[in-house]
Amino acid sequence: MSISKQDVISTYLPELPPFGIDAEAFAPSNIALCKYWGKRDVELNLPINASLSVSLGDLGSHTSISVSEKGIDQVYLNGELLQAESSFSKKVIAFLDLFRRGLDQPVIVKTNNNIPTAAGLASSASGFAALMLAINDFYRLGLTTERLSAFARMGSGSASRSVYQGFVEWHKGVREDGMDSCAERLDMSWPGFRIGLLKVATGEKKVDSRSGMQRTIESADLYQSWPQQAAKDLVTIKRAIADRDLALLGQTAEQNALSMHATMIASWPPLLYWQAESVAAMHRVWELRNAGIPVYLTMDAGPNLKLIFQQEHEQEIRDGFPELLDLDIVSPFG
Ligand code: DP6
């Protein structure tokens, strides 16, 4: 039996009863170079493997929490007041309740995502990280960044990495309560490093990461090799970052992502997040690479691609994709 989120959180919160003071926070989105895929504990979002990401600078979520005079909780997303029954609103309030601990103080939570619409990125990582940071200020919890990361993880696994900028490693941890399963900022930077957000298809994804990973674990024999591969890739990626070796980093990240997708495809019912346009864009990346341009791809639980390259090839990569494709280039190190 897994320990509940509330049990873990209550153990680490200050004794003082909570009382809110208006607060706001920002957290960046992140792209995993070594993916998180599979939970050993679904309640606490404890991962089977460690992962490594790069945060997207000023692209992410701004979240504010204020005391509501209206007597009810209200949640706004990108300026729009949501219905209390909407799944986003319910998730936000359920997470906040873990810290409110029964206090009768309704709140207004406002989240704005500034990730370009072209990115087609899920915002749960930056959203839960920003919410956690805002909760820490709102209830004056004074938590360390490690604890903030571990708690944000309970909202969404990848949110554990979004409490930091730069290259970030999320340790899988071994504790049953998961408090050692938190992220750490790696002391490495790479000013010329670029991430391209390439939107190739629109539309809501049909299977979210949470149920996708569960399905993979339960039905894909191929998943058995994933934890070893991820562990090996993480070591290689760290070395590649330290050496600023784009070819090694790109190859390892691309293989890591495609291996994760292979486990999804081997699930039942099959889980294929790619659309025809995704495959066409993958071929385009490989053509550019064959033409001598060092560009690599990674993909998450959706149809869009993220490109990995260096500043000096920015123009060739922009030129390499037809005008119809939407490409946003991010400089994670300013
Ligand atoms: C493919 O963090 O969205 O993007 O923990 O269930 O909320 P939950 O899943 P989530 O999964 C992200 C999966 C991924 C890979 C990654 O970001 O590492």
Are residues 252 and 153 part of one domain?
Answer: no
Is the CB–ligand 1 distance for residue 73 below 6 Å?
no
Is the CB–ligand 1 distance for residue 35 below 6 Å?
yes
Q: What does the pLDDT read at residue 127?
A: 95
Rounded Cα distance between 285 and 320, Å, is 8
Are residues 219 and 114 part of one domain?
Answer: no
Are residues 241 and 173 part of one domain?
Answer: no
Q: Which of 36, 41, 121 to mutate to test the pocket of ligand 1 (most atoms within 8 A of CB)?
A: 36
Share of the chain above pLDDT 70, in %: 95
Is the CB–ligand 1 distance for residue 233 below 6 Å?
no
Minimum-distance ligand 1 atom for the alpha carbon of 51: 18
Q: Where does the pLDDT of residue 120 fall: very low under 50, low under 70, confident under 90, or very high at 90 and above?
A: low
Other Cβ atoms less than 10 A from the Cβ of 132: the count is 30
CATH label of the domain that carries residue 225: 3.30.70.890
Q: What does the pLDDT read at residue 13?
A: 87
Are residues 146 and 76 part of one domain?
Answer: yes
Is the CB–ligand 1 distance for residue 157 below 6 Å?
yes
Structural domain count of the chain: 2
Q: What does the pLDDT read at residue 205?
A: 60
Q: What does the pLDDT read at residue 104?
A: 87
Residue that is last in its domain, among 185, 206, 228: 185
Asked whether the predicted pLDDT for residue 201 surpasses 90, the reply is: no
pTM beyond 0.85: the answer is: yes
Question: Which protein residue's CA is at the shortest distance from atom 3 of ligand 1?
Answer: 209
Are residues 170 and 30 part of one domain?
Answer: yes
Are residues 217 and 171 part of one domain?
Answer: no
Whether 11 and 184 have beta carbons less than 8 Å apart is answered as no
Are residues 201 and 170 part of one domain?
Answer: no
CATH label of the domain that carries residue 114: 3.30.230.10
Q: What does the pLDDT read at residue 18?
A: 66
Asked whether the predicted pLDDT for residue 204 surpasses 80, the reply is: no
Other Cβ atoms less than 10 A from the Cβ of 251: the count is 17
Quote the longest CA-to-CA distance of the chain.
63
Domain range for 39 is 5-185
Are residues 158 and 217 part of one domain?
Answer: no
Are residues 251 and 316 part of one domain?
Answer: yes
Q: What does the pLDDT read at residue 321?
A: 83
Is the CB–ligand 1 distance for residue 36 below 6 Å?
yes
Asked whether the predicted pLDDT for residue 73 surpasses 90, the reply is: yes
Phi, psi angle pair for 68, to nearest 5°: -90, 135
